[in-house]
Amino acid sequence: MKKYTIYHNPRCRKSREAIQFLEEAGHSHEVVLYLDGFFTKDILQEVLNNIALKPSEIVRKNESEWKNISNRNSLNETEILELLIKYPRLIERPIVISGNKGVLARPIENLALFLKAN
């Protein structure tokens, strides 16, 4: 059986729903509490490669950390990646990975399609 890794924020309802979805579907999973400083540049870039998204595509743009960055609209992808590491709360969640593939599991339908395809 495949094992899944979920990058999880326990305070996030969508993240909790994704864990519940995995459990109800009978999928084994490992939970990574990424807010605890888990991500390095290399690890986050690998996750992004697995979900085929750029750093700018996983930014939570309504967070105060993002809004407080005066030049946020002129940042390149490398600079955004570095901000995501510095402020992990800016990372959209949940992210679910299996092997070298993954999905931004928001909305939950994305996770259902991912599980069906793998």
Known catalytic residues are 12
Q: How far apart are CA 118 and CA 38, in angstroms?
A: 26
User: Do 90 and 34 meet the contact criterion of CB atoms below 8 Å apart?
Assistant: no
Pick from 113, 93, 108: which is nearest to 47 by CA? 93
